[in-house]
Amino acid sequence: MINKEDIVNQFDIEGTVAEIAPLGNGLINDTFKVITQEEDAPDYVLQRINHAIFKDVDLLQRNIQRVTDHIRTKLAARGETDIERKTLRIIPARDGKLYHFDGENYWRITVLIPRVKTYEAVTPEFAYYTGKAFGDFQSMLVDIPGEPLGETIPNFHNMETRLEAFKETVARDPEGRVKKAQWLIDELMQRAYEMCKAERLHREGKLPKRINHCDTKVNNMLFDENGQVLCVIDLDTTMPGYVLSDFGDFIRTAGNTGAEDDENLDNVNLNMEIFKSYAKGYIESAKSFLLPIETENLPFGAKLLTYMQTVRFLTDYLDGDHYYKIKHPEHNWQRSLAQFKLLQSIEAHENEMSAYIKSLMTA
Ligand code: GN1
Ligand code: MG
């Protein structure tokens, strides 16, 4: 048994540990809240990094340090107050490293930001602020100095390589699940060429890569008591990519009237009000750097990320569930069906989404 308190004490924390309890519901890392005894000592967030997925923990932690340092400098330069609640702070291990390796697992600690709320769903009003916050996050990172950030998961949002892995898994069929899933595999393959459009535009030199968060789920934002966005968390996948990723992943999660793994597909549809509010907020704070090709393709981004997530859940299901944490044996299948239903709803709204984006640009 791992003694988490011993792990915590490898880090340069203030105060003494009173309690360590599970926190959040991420599908990849294991997260815990560390409560300290002393009133004046902060509480902390302890995470066991999924090392099978994040293979270069050193690069991962250096990326996060660079991102948070840069954001802190930007916030200070524009005279923001309460900066410690507006970006994450990594606590180094006592040996000076940004993580601790216990011989088997990699661990890290950040300061727990006090008095915050997280949500699995948002109202249109919150979606507007969230759009502004993610646009702001991207615009603050436009001029991060030094080398480009490393890819913590190579080809993370590359649709072409995701499809290669998918086809390879279908051909191997290690669990004998292909027969049951064949109709969905066919649906996805029919869309494959279209969905690789971003990669083609990039190769043609038309669509740039910028620093993105690459996991813009609603539950990766912290809100204050008044519903204002304080801070973007879960920075593991902050790396170069297309802005379509961050836009699309938010719509995929917040714009879904149902759950990501909803058992009842009738619950799952695109909420156009959320789309509109988020798009409005996002474009307001990102228009200073967005190119026309990026803005035009935002509705495609919503489609792409939902498609990509369907491919990823289905790949994991066919492969025997090695990537995402599951709660029951058919969980990844259920997730695939729910994401596909959402994809169909997004497709049905594509013209409406494009018309709205146009109206924002000419307003
Ligand atoms: C994972 O761990 P979590 O829930 O923040 C995943 C995302 C997926 C998401 C699906 C590193 O994020 O890419 O979109 O699950 N993160 C990684 O909900 O694969
Ligand atoms: Mg998360």
Please spell the DSSP secondary structure of 6-74, one letter per residue: HHHTTB--SS-EEEEEE----SSSEEEEEEESSTTSPPEEEEEE-TTT---HHHHHHHHHHHHHHHHHH
Tokens representing 13?
A: 């924390």
Q: What is the pLDDT of residues 213-260, one digit of tens each?
A: 999 988 889 999 887 889 999 999 999 999 999 999 999 999 999 999
171 C-alpha vs ligand 2 centroid, how far in Å?
Answer: 31
- CA–CA distance, 240 with 249 (Å, rounded to integer): 15
CB 43 within 8 A of CB 114: yes
**196: number of Cβ within 10 Å:** 16
Q: What is the pLDDT of residues 94-137, one digit of tens each?
A: 999 999 999 999 999 999 999 999 888 888 988 998 899 999 99
Name the residue type at position 94. R
41 C-alpha vs ligand 1 centroid, how far in Å?
Answer: 31
Q: What is the pLDDT of residues 303-362, one digit of tens each?
A: 999 999 999 999 999 999 999 999 999 999 999 999 999 999 999 999 999 999 999 988
CB 12 within 8 A of CB 2: no
pLDDT band at residue 56 under the 50/70/90 scheme: very high
Q: What is the pLDDT of residues 156-174, one digit of tens each?
A: 999 999 999 999 999 999 9
- CA–CA distance, 56 with 20 (Å, rounded to integer): 26
216 C-alpha vs ligand 1 centroid, how far in Å?
Answer: 9
Q: Whose atoms come closest to the Cα of 23: which ligand? A: 2
pLDDT at position 148? 86
Q: Which residue is closest in CA terms to ligand 1's atom 5?
A: 26
pLDDT at position 195? 98
Residues of the chain by 3-state class (helix, strand, coil), percent to 5: 50, 15, 40
181 C-alpha vs ligand 2 centroid, how far in Å?
Answer: 28
Q: Whose atoms come closest to the Cα of 253: which ligand? A: 1
- CA–CA distance, 198 with 245 (Å, rounded to integer): 10
3-state secondary structure of 210: strand
Ligand 1, CB within 6 Å, residue ranges: 26-28, 53, 215, 217, 234, 237, 260, 309
Give ∠ CA 135-136-142 in degrees, rounded to 5: 90
CB 177 within 8 A of CB 317: yes
Does pTM top 0.85 for this prediction? Answer: yes
Name the residue type at position 147. E
- CA–CA distance, 346 with 354 (Å, rounded to integer): 11
CA 16, 19, 21, 24 torsion-angle sign: negative
**162: number of Cβ within 10 Å:** 21
Supply φ then ψ for residue 174, to 5 degrees. -65, -25
3-state secondary structure of 76: helix
Q: Whose atoms come closest to the Cα of 305: which ligand? A: 1
Which residue, 287, 307, 286, 298, is CA-closest to 356?
A: 298
CB 55 within 8 A of CB 16: no
Q: Which residue from 217, 315, 336 has its CB within 8 A of the most atoms of ligand 1, so it is best to mutate?
A: 217
Q: What is the pLDDT of residues 164-214, one digit of tens each?
A: 999 999 999 999 999 999 999 999 999 999 999 999 999 999 999 999 999
pLDDT at position 227? 78
